[in-house]
Amino acid sequence: MNSSISRNAHPSKTNTLSLGIICVLILVLTMQIWLLTAALNESLDGNNAVKWPAFFASTLLFLAGAALLRYLPDPIRQARKAARHGRDTAGL
Amino acid sequence: MNKIMTPPLPPRSSAEVDFPIERTEAEHVTRREFAKFLCLVSGGMAVGSGWVAVKDKIFPPFTFDGERFVCNVEDVPVGGTHPFRLEGSRIPFILIRLTDGSFRAYEQKCTHLSCAVYYSPDKNKIECPCHHGFFDANDGKVLAGPPPRPLPHLEVALRDGAVFVREPEQKT
């Protein structure tokens, strides 16, 4: 379903979608770097209360980022080819 | 006017897609590939956070019971230092005899990037020469520079002219 949506989307929309996903992924990565450095700093200081919540939050962010990849638009050439193939098989 | 029809290109194998002949094509990174790479790094960060969480379980930090002998009091002059290691540990420590005659024992590794620190008796500070981090010689707290944490310390006990160290009380 996601791929059919991205296949039928206008190229300018796919452009926006790609850039939006990349921006969100960079934001996710920035938060993960902050979580990692904060957890490491606290752990080295002997404060162990932070490291497990930081790990769970980081994993959650990674899963969210990985889920976002499903919405990445297909390359336009590939999408056109797939659309043409769909029309052919439907007998149009 | 007849249009010149170019024959369609033969389909390329996945190996040809992954390792194209043209250099420009090989160096080209699509936005899809970049997004996937960002997600891969994000996974690496999650694994790194997991490593921080379980590190102490796999490699427990060095601890010891009771007191350990370091040296005799007269071995360290006022304003002088005595480097030592505890048996079973690879962490370097320094015993400092402050200008008021009291003793302190700190890890010799700077909390910034683990450079060896030294005691400067005229300033009564512990200094890291790598990035000019300064610690208070009385309690190991950071006075200036990039170190993020105080120097880890050991408690010092004097008995019968000898210097002993023991673990500090745990944080609550």
**Tens digits of per-residue pLDDT, B82-122?**
999 998 888 999 999 998 889 999 999 999 999 999 999 99
Same domain, B71 and B112: yes
Query: What CATH number does the domain containing B99 carry?
Result: 2.102.10.10
Same domain, B84 and B152: yes
**B15 touching A, CB under 8 A?**
no
Rounded mean pLDDT of A8-26?
85
Same domain, B132 and B104: yes
Same domain, B37 and B94: no
**Interface contact flag, B35 A45, Cβ < 8 Å:** no
Residue A84 scores a pLDDT above 90: no
Question: pLDDT band at A9, cuts 50/70/90?
Answer: low
Contacts of A62 in chain B (CB under 8 A): 39, 42-43, 45-46
Please indicate, yes or no, if residue B9 is contained in any of the structural domains: no
User: Two tokens at A65?
Assistant: 């980022």
Contacts of A54 in chain B (CB under 8 A): 49, 52-53
Question: pLDDT band at B63, cuts 50/70/90?
Answer: confident
Please indicate, yes or no, if residue B93 is contained in any of the structural domains: yes
**B43 touching A, CB under 8 A?**
yes
Rounded to whole angstroms, the Cα distance separating A9 from A2 reads: 11
**Quick check: ipTM above 0.90?**
no
**Interface contact flag, B49 A45, Cβ < 8 Å:** no
Same domain, B23 and B103: no
Contacts of B41 in chain A (CB under 8 A): 29
Q: Which of A19, A28, A54 sits opposite B42 (nearest CB)?
A: A28
Residue of A nearest to B38 (CA): A25
What strands, in cross-sheet order, belong to the sheet with B67-72? B67-72, B162-166, B153-159, B103-107, B92-97, B81-85
Question: pLDDT band at B141, cuts 50/70/90?
Answer: very high
Same domain, B117 and B149: yes
Residue B171 scores a pLDDT above 80: no
Please indicate, yes or no, if residue B121 is contained in any of the structural domains: yes
The whole-number pLDDT of residue B4 equals 65
Same domain, B49 and B82: no
B15-32 pLDDT, tens per residue? 887 788 888 877 777 888
Higher-pLDDT residue of B8 and B69 is: B69
**B37 touching A, CB under 8 A?**
no
Look up the domain containing B155 and give its range: 67-166
Contacts of A59 in chain B (CB under 8 A): 46, 49-50
Domain boundaries, chain A: 2-89
Contacts of B34 in chain A (CB under 8 A): 22
- Point out the least confidently predicted range of A40-44, A57-61, B2-6, B108-112: B2-6
**Interface contact flag, B41 A29, Cβ < 8 Å:** yes
Q: What does the DSSP assignment read for B83-136?
A: EEE-TT---EEEEEE-TTS-EEEEESB-TTT-PBPEEETTTTEEEETTTTEEEE
Please indicate, yes or no, if residue B45 is contained in any of the structural domains: yes
The whole-number pLDDT of residue A1 equals 47
Rounded mean pLDDT of B31-60?
93
Same domain, B75 and B155: yes
